[in-house]
Amino acid sequence: MTNKKLSIYKVSEFDGMRKAGRLAAETLDYITPFVVPGVTTGQLDEKLEEFMRDNGGIPATIGYHGYPKASCISANHIVCHGIPGDKVLHEGDIINIDITPIVDGWHGDTSRMYFVGEKISVKARRLVQNAFDTMWAGINECKIGHTLGDAGHAMEACAHRQGFSVVEDYCGHGVGKVFHAMPNVLNYGTPGEGEKIQEGMIFTVEPMVNAGRSATLTLSDGWTVITKDRSLSAQFEHSIGITEKGPEIFTLSPKGWNCPPYK
């Protein structure tokens, strides 16, 4: 972790991230109408992979430390790294889909929440909206001169305001020509502490927010991370780059489908 290089580029190189980020966001848009009760996570993954490849993207997750699929699909109390497979989605489920197409060597890493059907509990809706707001609270601190502690603190505060917790075991990361680089972008922190945010940095902001406690555990498949107390978990992720004008978001939805319900 600590010997990874800091992900910092020239703003004039951001075009590569714009392309990769756009394909990532288009892929999440593309899959939206297929997220319905009865579909399996494996079927969604197959469609995503086909769309990515047809549009010039290579899924970065396949073969990444042995990971087998083109996406991570994490339902309900799964925090992250859910492996797509035979799991059938049901009315009322909330899921996160996380993908990273590589385009011309650049990695566009993004995830969104989706509602399965329409009967989503009030608690699940509140959690999903809060995870979205938490991500934006973090992104809005990502300005030259601020620190990653400012962003982490803003995220933690946003989640806590509604009685939720942030996951501390996983974090955002530098991204760009490599999938996971420095800096670590923690979902909690102290204002003024941590790495100084500089022009040209490219990293993800990807808080996971739990309805219950923050603790997680990994299942015996070696990947699937769940909340230890089995409470619901939600996450959104954008890849961003720092310019003198503030954060540039590479993975915004062209359709405006950034937070569910998507209509």
Regarding 72 and contact with ligand MF3 (CB under 6 A), the answer is yes
Nearer to ligand MF3, 63 or 145 (CB): 63
Nearer to ligand MF3, 144 or 252 (CB): 252
CB count within 10 Å of CB 91 equals 13
- Ordered DSSP codes for 19-66: HHHHHHHHHHHHHGGG--TT-BHHHHHHHHHHHHHHTT-EETTTTGGG
Regarding 81 and contact with ligand MF3 (CB under 6 A), the answer is yes
Nearer to ligand MF3, 223 or 262 (CB): 223
Nearer to ligand MF3, 109 or 248 (CB): 109
Please, which of residues 198-257 interact with ligand MF3 by CB under 6 A? 204, 206, 223, 237
Helix axes 41-54, 14-31, angle to 10 degrees: 140
Regarding 67 and contact with ligand MF3 (CB under 6 A), the answer is yes
Q: Do residues 139 and 239 lie in contact, with contact meaning Cβ atoms separated by under 8 Å?
A: no
Q: Which of 29, 45, 98, 195 binds ligand MF3 (CB under 6 A)?
A: 98
CB of 80 to ligand MF3, least distance (A): 7
Regarding 112 and contact with ligand MF3 (CB under 6 A), the answer is no
Choose the stretch contacting ligand MF3; rule: CB under 6 A; options: 59-67, 138-146, 160-168, 209-217: 59-67
Nearer to ligand MF3, 94 or 135 (CB): 135
Residues near 125 by beta carbon (within 8 Å), at least 6 away in sequence: none
Binding-site ranges for Co ion (CB under 5 A): 98, 109, 204, 237
Phi, then psi, of 243 in degrees rounded to 5? -120, 170
CB count within 10 Å of CB 9 equals 18
Nearer to ligand MF3, 35 or 83 (CB): 83
Regarding 29 and contact with ligand MF3 (CB under 6 A), the answer is no
Regarding 64 and contact with ligand MF3 (CB under 6 A), the answer is yes
Using a 10 angstrom Cβ sphere, with 0-12 exposed, 13-18 middle and 19 or more buried, the burial of residue 104 is exposed
- What are the residues binding ligand MF3 (CB under 6 A)? 61, 64-65, 67, 72, 81, 98, 100, 109, 204, 206, 223, 237
